[in-house]
Amino acid sequence: MAALGNKEDDTQVEHEGAGKTEDAAYVIQAQQLAAQWQDDSEEERKLKRKLDWRILPCTWVLYTLGYLDRANIGNAKTGGLERDFKLTSDQYSIIVLMFFVSYLVAEVPANMILTRVRPSVFLPGLGLLWGTFAALMGATQNWSQLAGMRFLLGIAEAGFAPGCAFYLSTWYRRYELTTRYSFLYTSVPIAGAVSGLLAGVIMQYMEGVAGLAGWRWLFILEGIASIVAASVIYFYMPDYPSNSKRFLKEEESILACQRLAVDGIDMAQGAGSEKHSHWAVFKMTCKDWRVWAQCLMFVLVTGAQTMQYFIPTLVQSFGWTGYTGQYYTIPAYGACLLYVVGCGWLADKYKTKWPFICALSAIGTVLFIAVTVTTNKTAQYVLTIFAFGTIYGCSPLVKTWVSDVIPQPAAKRAVAIALINSIGNASSIYSSWLWPSKDAPRYIPGFATTTTWLFVLCVSSVVFQYFFKKYPIERKDQSGVMAAELRAKREAAEKGTRA
């Protein structure tokens, strides 16, 4: 028996020795990869093109349609909804508010789920849900039913914006991310511009078709578009770099993982990622002062940005009404597009974000002061267009700054993005009351509050940059991360061979 026991001990020692030797081999291989790494190699550029042509179109289409389904309430209001439901200013504010209440509550749980499941299932699945709820808004018969459907719409859309921000951060490096997210974010101003155009066309030509008002067809048709797009995108959207087998070859997957490891960015569902419970990750996130600094900045941006839901109303106060007024909302979103793309590209080019946040918010402050001072309607309209664009320019810069400041662990980054987005959108709850019809035609309280928020954002971006630089989060060694990934891929291959 003693001999048998000794034999088992020897076998265990041999296995442990073999395991250590194998681990050392993976570490050596990872170190070799690190030594051979070259920024912007031909292989990396080829991979980036492949990622861009698959990831960005999938997310952009859904982001655009989601925004249309969220923001068309403003077009519907001026296109007959207010008249048919006899809406008061308070009732309309409640309808806008209900979306943000559910949106705020559901964002963090949604991103927690996203870290554990396949993005190709989860993100298009959300599109399927919100498209259904958006189409059903066309069947409501009173303002309270419409408010209820907006509440459900908020739950369905809650996981998508923060989910996309996290999803892109699992594929792109620190100074590639802002350009890509800014491209994704162009869907918002484009959707805003197209929203006015579509609303004008649909409500003009679908009015009375099948006995339905034009604003009802607006909800129905845009909701159906989301359902169709989500169903198709499921087949094209990749998962994460470490497990997207239907999209990447093994050597491409290793390169995709190494790109993140070089920047010290923790990988979602990666073999080297720290494993924590949802509650532990949530507590870890809430204890980090960097999260709350980012929260403050995003609260200021989103609070100012809620004027987007009142752009048709503001245009109406400037003197353009009816179908013509819908078309006059388009230039504001054209300016937003220029700010978003230009500043996102420059931020990655110069590998910094805070100077652009500071500059945009300062310009916006000056322009909004000019809007409140002048009484000329045309001047107010033009100034509002360019001032509104600065808010949009700040939004993707602030949101992608989170991934720079909080690179790991991946689960914490996901919760931080969602928490910041959630609390930021909480400002939309009270901001929706800043533009009541009683303040027409100048809307001084709304413009004054927006101006104040942009000024505070300008100052805080400078202050927080100083502290982020002074107290950075330590990043993981890329060799250790890649050794774990290489081992996991070899074990997965061996399991597949045995199967």
Q: Is the pLDDT of residue 484 over 80?
A: no
User: What is the reported pLDDT for 271?
Assistant: 59
Yes or no: say if 273 and 258 are a contact pair by the CB < 8 Å rule: no
- What token pair was written down for 272? 């080297």
Residue-wise pLDDT for 231-240, tens only, equals 999 999 998 8
Judged by average pLDDT, the poorest of 125-129, 363-367, 414-418, 484-488 is 484-488
If one compares 393 and 4, the residue with the highest pLDDT of the two is 393
Yes or no: say if 189 and 392 are a contact pair by the CB < 8 Å rule: yes
Judged by average pLDDT, the poorest of 45-59, 268-282, 289-303, 442-456 is 268-282
Determine the average pLDDT of the residues in 270-274.
63
The residue among 405, 420, 415 whose CA lies nearest residue 467 is 405
Q: Is the pLDDT of residue 265 over 90?
A: no
Q: Is the pLDDT of residue 11 over 50?
A: no
Residue-wise pLDDT for 349-393, tens only, equals 998 999 999 999 999 999 999 988 888 888 888 898 899 999 989
Residues 6+ apart with CB under 8 A from 24: none
User: What is the reported pLDDT for 478?
Assistant: 58
User: What is the reported pLDDT for 18?
Assistant: 47
User: What is the reported pLDDT for 357?
Assistant: 95
User: What is the reported pLDDT for 273?
Assistant: 63
Residue-wise pLDDT for 390-414, tens only, equals 998 999 999 999 888 888 788 888 9
User: What is the reported pLDDT for 22?
Assistant: 58
Residue 298 pLDDT class (50, 70, 90 cuts): very high
- What token pair was written down for 309? 């839901």
Q: Is the pLDDT of residue 222 over 60?
A: yes
Q: Is the pLDDT of residue 431 over 70?
A: no
User: What is the reported pLDDT for 125?
Assistant: 96
Question: What's the alpha-carbon Rg for the chain, to the nearest Å?
Answer: 25
Residue-wise pLDDT for 199-216, tens only, equals 888 888 888 888 888 889
The residue among 417, 112, 419, 117 whose CA lies nearest residue 280 is 112
User: What is the reported pLDDT for 32?
Assistant: 61
CA dihedral 248, 254, 259, 263 (to 10 degrees): 140
Q: Is the pLDDT of residue 486 over 80?
A: no
If one compares 265 and 241, the residue with the highest pLDDT of the two is 241
Q: Is the pLDDT of residue 2 over 70?
A: no
User: What is the reported pLDDT for 405?
Assistant: 87
Residue-wise pLDDT for 442-457, tens only, equals 788 888 888 999 999 9
Work out the mean pLDDT of the chain and round it to a whole number.
83
Q: Is the pLDDT of residue 225 over 90?
A: yes
Q: Is the pLDDT of residue 345 over 80?
A: yes
Yes or no: say if 388 and 336 are a contact pair by the CB < 8 Å rule: yes
User: What is the reported pLDDT for 241?
Assistant: 87
Q: Is the pLDDT of residue 153 over 70?
A: yes
Residue 479 pLDDT class (50, 70, 90 cuts): low
Angle at 235 between CA 234 and CA 240, to 5 degrees: 75
Determine the average pLDDT of the residues in 14-36.
57
**In the chain, % of residues over pLDDT 70:** 85
Q: What is the 3-state secondary structure (H, E, C) of the chain?
A: CHHHHHHHHHHHHHHHHHHHHHHHHHHHHHHHHHHHCCCCCHHHHHHHHHHHHHHHHHHHHHHHHHHHHHHHHHHHHHHHHHHHCCCCHHHHHHHHHHHHHHHHHHHHHHHHHHCCCCHHHHHHHHHHHHHHHHHHHHHCCCHHHHHHHHHHHHHHHHCHHHHHHHHHHCCCCHHHHHHHHHHHHCHHHHHHHHHHHHHHHHHHHCCCHHHCCHHHHHHHHHHHHHHHHHHHHCCCCCCCCCCCCCCCCHHHHHHHHHHHHHCCCCCCCCCCCCCCCHHHHHHHHHCCHHHHHHHHHHHHHHHHHHHHHHHHHHHHHCCCCHHHHHHCCHHHHHHHHHHHHHHHHHHHHCCCCHHHHHHHHHHHHHHHHHHHHCCCHHHHHHHHHHHHHHHHHHHHHHHHHHHHHCCCCHHHHHHHHHHHHHHHHHHHHHHCCCCCHHHCCCCHHHHHHHHHHHHHHHHHHHHHHHHHHHCCCCCCCHHHHHHHHHHHHHHHHHHHHHC
Respond yes or no on whether the N-terminal peptide bond of residue 189 is cis (omega within 30° of 0): no
Instruction: State how far the Cα of 363 lies from the Cα of 487, in Å rounded to an integer.
Output: 51
**Residue 16: exposed, middle, or buried by beta-carbon count in 10 A (0-12, 13-18, 19+)?**
exposed
User: What is the reported pLDDT for 76?
Assistant: 87
Judged by average pLDDT, the poorest of 4-18, 101-115, 319-333 is 4-18
Residue 152 pLDDT class (50, 70, 90 cuts): very high
